[in-house]
Amino acid sequence: MTRIRNNTVVVTGASRGIGEAAARYFAKAGAKVVLSARNEARIRDIAEDIAAKGGIALAIRCDVSQAADVERLMTEVRARTGAIDVLVNNAGTIDPIARLADSDPQAWGQIVDVNLKGVYHGLRYAIPWMVESGGGTILNISSGAATSALEGWSHYCATKAAVLSLTRVAHKEYGPQGVRVIGLSPGTVATDMQVSIRTSGINPVSQLDPNVHIPPEWVAKALLWLCGPDADPHLGTDFSIKTNEGRAAVGLALAD
């Protein structure tokens, strides 16, 4: 945990779920955390709570689907903290869940804007700063959906597959310049997204017992681990904590 101390960590989608857990975990490890999301009031409340507990946190509103918003976020982070050491591209959504012939084209496109273009925007505007400063780490939240075909999830599967490709390309292009790019496939996590999935009743994931979902704090711990050299063999690809091998590496409880 000492390796992250005083580093600047930007977390998108930080108003709840994995993003909130990651922001709190990195702050506890001594990082300067920047929480970003569309819900400015919520991220300000979280940042204030982190600060009240001795951490360092800033809240900056950003809609990752908008390139100008993300460019402004990265510029402000650099101006206020002096660095962008880690970017956690976490913002993502799955609603509305629907089979292809029942899907709404505008809603489907909005998922692409957040899940795919949002990650691209983060890469596009963080990488130049990281290259200039000699390196950094970008962590893209991925999913088993990146390599699966799940009924009702055409938008989610397609965007996560594309994010995996972005991870690979970004590593190939900027790995030699010190920018570490890794995806994290956490499995099912106990967040609001799982509530939407269960409500949909579509595909086997919606039928899972809620007790099998891992807590978001486990994902946060894995994200911190990915910032260290032990994760270097996984650069340019997705690292999974669905397997006992991955969980053991991070120090998480093994699956039965």
Q: What is the mean pLDDT of the chain?
A: 95
Average pLDDT, stretch 27-56?
Answer: 98
13: pLDDT strictly greater than 90: yes
Long-range pairs of 23-29 with CB within 8 A, sequence gap ≥ 24: 23/47, 23/50, 23/57, 24/50, 24/55, 24/220, 25/217, 25/220, 25/221, 25/223, 25/224, 26/86, 26/220, 26/223, 26/224, 27/55, 27/56, 27/57, 28/53, 28/55, 29/1, 29/4, 29/5, 29/224
Instruction: Set out the domains of the chain in order of their start, with CATH numbers.
Output: 2-247 (3.40.50.720)
Burial of 218 (0-12, 13-18, 19+ CB in 10 A): buried
Contacts with 59 (C-beta within 8 Å, 6 or more apart), sequence order:
34, 35, 36, 40, 43, 44, 46, 47
256: pLDDT strictly greater than 80: no
211: pLDDT strictly greater than 90: no
pLDDT in tens, 218-227: 999 999 999 9
Query: Which pLDDT does position 166 carry in this prediction?
Result: 98
Residue 156 designated active-site: yes
Q: How confident is the model at residue 36 (pLDDT cuts 50, 70, 90)?
A: very high
Catalytic residue among 25, 120, 125, 156: 156
pLDDT in tens, 64-116: 999 999 999 999 999 999 999 999 999 999 999 999 999 999 999 999 999 99
